[in-house]
Each structure stands twice: as structure tokens, then as C-alpha cells.
A = this chain, B = another copy of it.
Amino acid sequence: MFELLRTHVRKRVDLTDEEFDVCTKFFIPKKIRRKQFLLQEGEVCKSLTFVTRGCLRSYTVDGAGEEHILQFAVEDWWISDLCSFLSGGSATMNIDAVEDSELLLLEKPARESLLAAVPKFERFFRLLLERHYLASTKRVVDSLSASAKDRYLSFLSMYPAISQRVPQSQIASYLGITPQSLSRIRHEMASKP
């Protein structure tokens, strides 16, 4: 259960076995079924969530009722409404499960205790935030410059695992195009490489 988290954290900061064992105490395991919500718009996001099995997505719903997917998270990824979690304000995003999933939740007070117990995690969470900020910035640049096809190719190369597991219509929503357009792009890519 915690093996994945251990190797995940160790890729970023080096921890002794003891330090990691301390850390496990602060996480709450949770299972969640396909289509179940982990967070709904208007609630407060109370935890950082690490995915050990399955797949989740975060998205907003606009005035016209359209969903816009901001992030997918499969095994070895984190997902949450960071703004809501950090600020304590209410969430603008929804998070739900694309597949039946297993999670490790790190709630806010637990995170504080963890940081106090193992200060090396300061660095870890700073890196995590940077990575999210970087990804968000990259998406802005991509949306300014790249065509739908280029954005899809970039999505495929960056998240090959995800593209296998998520319905095309949701990938289209992530890319900001209609499912029909994505279907045509795939068709074109299949005929001439």
C-alpha cells in the first residue's frame, strides 16, 4: 500500500526507512468507486490525495454546463484543488474517479504534523507545488501556440499511460476540443503517420 508512496517520495528527497515509517502514520487510506466524488465545487478541499491505484480527474463546470478537465491522476500522482486546500476557501473544482481507485489522503493538520516530524518534507511539498505550477504554465503556453493536433501529440507523449485508460471524450475535454474533432485527428494520424 505504502510502497508506491515510498519510492515516489524517495525519487525527490532522500529519507531513511525510519523517516518514511513515521510519515505513513499521517496518511489515511481510502477506496473510491468509479464516478464517485472526492470533492465537489463549493466544498473545502481538506486533503492532498496520492493515488495508489486507479484514476481520478479534476474539472470545472462552466455556465453552459460543460465540463473542462484540468488534470488526470493515475497511480503515483497527486490530485487536489490546491487553491482551496492552501487557502481554505471553497473549491471551484470537482474531483471524481474515472476508475475504482485507492488513495492515500493527507489532511491539512496531518500535513502540518508531518512537516514538524520530518522537515525534509518541506522540500518535497515545495517541489510538488512547483511541478504543478510549471505544468499549469506550460498548458497556458500550449493553448496560446499549439493546434489541437499538436496539443494531443504533446498529451500522448507526456501522459502515455493515461491516454490508454481514459475515454476519448474526456481527453477531448482536457484538450479543449469536441470528441468529434479528436476522433478526426486520430483518424488522420492513423492514415498518414
Give A contacts to B, CB under 8 Å: 60, 62, 66, 68, 70, 82-83, 86-87, 126-127, 129-130, 132-134, 136-137, 139-141, 143-145, 173, 176
Contacts and interface: CB of A to CB of B under 8 A. Distances in A.
Contact of A137 (B83, B129, B144, B176): B83
A132 B87 CA distance: 13
Nearest to A83: B134
Given A83-B130, A83-B134, A140 B139 contact: yes
24 contacts: A60-B141, A62-B141, A66-B145, A68-B144, A68-B145, A82-B133, A83-B130, A83-B134, A86-B126, A87-B127, A87-B130, A129-B129, A129-B133, A132-B133, A133-B133, A136-B140, A139-B140, A139-B143, A140-B140, A140-B143, A143-B143, A143-B144, A144-B173, A145-B176
Oligomeric state, in number of copies? 2
Q: 4 closest pairs, A vs B, by CB? A: A144-B176, A143-B143, A136-B136, A68-B144
Residue from A60, A87, A140 with most neighbouring chain B CB atoms (10 Å): A140
A140 to B, nearest CB: 5
A137 B140 CA distance: 9
Contacts of A143: 139-140, 143-144, 176
A130 B86 CA distance: 8
Contacts of A62: 141, 145
Nearest to A173: B144
Contacts of A133: 82-83, 129, 132-133, 136
Residue from A129, A132, A136 with most neighbouring chain B CB atoms (10 Å): A136
